[in-house]
């Protein structure tokens, strides 16, 4: 009846790549989530602009043009904030840095757009303003700090219920890993009732956290990681069961994942665990 279980799951938009993953889902003890695009919608809106070197319009203009080279949800938000493409603006040599941001040449000037870690890397003395809330995207021009943009995201409608349902299926620990700031992470974790969260992580730090959690799992218990795919392939591969959210997932993530959800609803994870447990005749 493994086939029955895999078939039943696929009818609900849950693709399980083999019976061993159905078994692992049935024994899921810890479920680890990526934040952006997994628990939150990943649809950011710009809420404030704090320029310090150039005017607010130029700050947004530069950020939007650099972000034309990125598929990150943050990039889409910054492009939308300055929708008119400027043909006189030449953007070259774009280099994206996972978990940090992106650097590119705009009309010969090196423009860095990303978090405080990226500002430190390019030697720009970043600042924040009192009252800044949400995700902060800093901009530097030729290593000089040029200001920051505040953007905000929302938790998905079904995320809180999804966490509660996963717990009802017997999962002991729910954990969120994110590259975003501590205060943003804390707010989401509190709102959703997660057991643990870790913020300001690089993709390699996410792998290290999953390894630490794996090493503290009880005998026979399994760890699942759920991500939207952007920069998640290494953690998806490291978990006992890697679950990719299909709608936004990259090809690399779908490849690295053991389970693919055809839509991006976190509530499908509890459904997957429930199907797995019933198939294996484990009742809780
Ligand atoms: P999460 O862990 O929340 O899914 P990521 O690891 O993808 O987030 O990114 C972590 C952080 O890196 C973001 O919060 C942002 O500060 C920065 N970042 C990543 N990509 C970009 C980008 N294209 N533009 C600006 N900032 C970015
Ligand atoms: Mg992510």
Instruction: Pick from 81, 99, 116, 234 the residue to mutate for probing ligand 1's pocket: most ligand atoms within 8 Å of its CB.
Output: 99
Whether 19 contacts 163, CB under 8 Å: no
CATH architecture of residue range(s) 45-152? 3-Layer(aba) Sandwich (3.40)
Write down the domain spans for the chain.
2-41+156-279, 45-152
Q: What is the CA radius of gyration of the chain?
A: 20
Which secondary-structure segment (H or E) carries 252?
A: helix 251-256
**pLDDT tens, residue by residue, 125-153:** 999 999 999 999 999 999 999 999 999 99
Ligand nearest to the Cα of 200, by number: 1
Grade residue 111 by pLDDT with cuts at 50, 70 and 90. very high
CA 94/CA 187 separation, integer angstroms: 33
The whole-number average pLDDT for the span 21-39 is 95
The closest residue, in CA terms, to atom 8 on ligand 1 is 179
Q: Which residues pair with 223 in a beta bridge?
A: 30
Q: Tell me whether strands 173-177 and 144-152 are parallel, antiparallel or unpaired.
A: unpaired
CA 161/CA 122 separation, integer angstroms: 41
- Of the two residues 9 and 118, the one the predictor is more confident about is 118
CA 159/CA 2 separation, integer angstroms: 28
Grade residue 282 by pLDDT with cuts at 50, 70 and 90. confident
The whole-number average pLDDT for the span 58-79 is 95
pLDDT at 233: 87
Grade residue 171 by pLDDT with cuts at 50, 70 and 90. very high
Tell me the CA distances in angstroms from 139 to 74, 103, 115, one per residue in order.
13, 10, 9
Mean pLDDT of the chain: 93
- Largest interatomic CA distance in the chain: 65
> Looking at the domain that runs over 2-41+156-279, which CATH code has it been given?
3.40.50.1000
Residues 6+ apart with CB under 8 A from 19: 2, 5, 6
Pocket of ligand 1 (CB under 6 A): 34-36, 67, 70, 72, 74-75, 99-102, 113-115, 135, 137, 178-180, 230-231
Torsion of CA 159, 165, 167, 169, to 10 degrees: -140
Query: Of 83-92, 161-170, 261-270, which gets the smallest average pLDDT?
Result: 83-92
pLDDT at 78: 96
Which secondary-structure segment (H or E) carries 177?
A: strand 173-177
Three-state SS at 20: helix
Residue 173 has pLDDT above 70, yes or no: yes
Residues 6+ apart with CB under 8 A from 109: 141, 142
């Amino acid at each position: 009846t493994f086939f029955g279980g895999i078939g039943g799951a696929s009818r609900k938009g849950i693709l399980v790549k083999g019976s061993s993953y159905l078994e692992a889902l049935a024994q899921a003890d810890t479920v680890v989530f990526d934040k952006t695009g997994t628990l939150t919608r990943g649809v950011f809106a710009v809420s404030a602009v704090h320029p310090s070197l150039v005017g607010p319009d130029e700050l947004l203009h530069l950020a939007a043009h650099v972000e034309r080279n990125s598929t990150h949800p943050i990039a889409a938000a910054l492009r939308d904030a300055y929708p008119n493409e400027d043909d006189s603006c030449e953007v070259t040599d774009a280099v994206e840095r996972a978990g940090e941001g992106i650097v590119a040449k705009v009309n010969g000037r090196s423009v860095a757009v990303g978090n405080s870690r990226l500002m430190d890397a390019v030697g720009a003395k970043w600042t924040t303003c009192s009252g800044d809330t949400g995700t902060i995207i800093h901009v530097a021009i030729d290593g000089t700090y040029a200001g920051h943009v505040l953007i905000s995201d929302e938790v998905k409608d079904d995320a809180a219920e999804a966490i509660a349902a996963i717990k009802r299926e017997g999962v002991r620990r729910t954990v969120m890993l994110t590259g975003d700031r501590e205060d943003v992470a804390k707010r989401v974790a509190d709102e959703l009732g997660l057991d643990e969260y870790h913020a300001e992580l690089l993709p390699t730090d996410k792998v290290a956290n999953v390894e630490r959690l794996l090493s503290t799992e009880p005998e026979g218990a399994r760890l699942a990681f759920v991500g939207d795919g952007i920069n998640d392939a290494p953690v998806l591969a490291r978990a006992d069961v890697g679950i990719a959210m299909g709608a936004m997932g990259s090809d690399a993530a779908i490849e690295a994942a053991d389970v693919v959800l055809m839509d991006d609803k976190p509530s499908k994870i509890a459904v997957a665990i429930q199907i797995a447990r019933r198939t294996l005749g484990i009742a809780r």
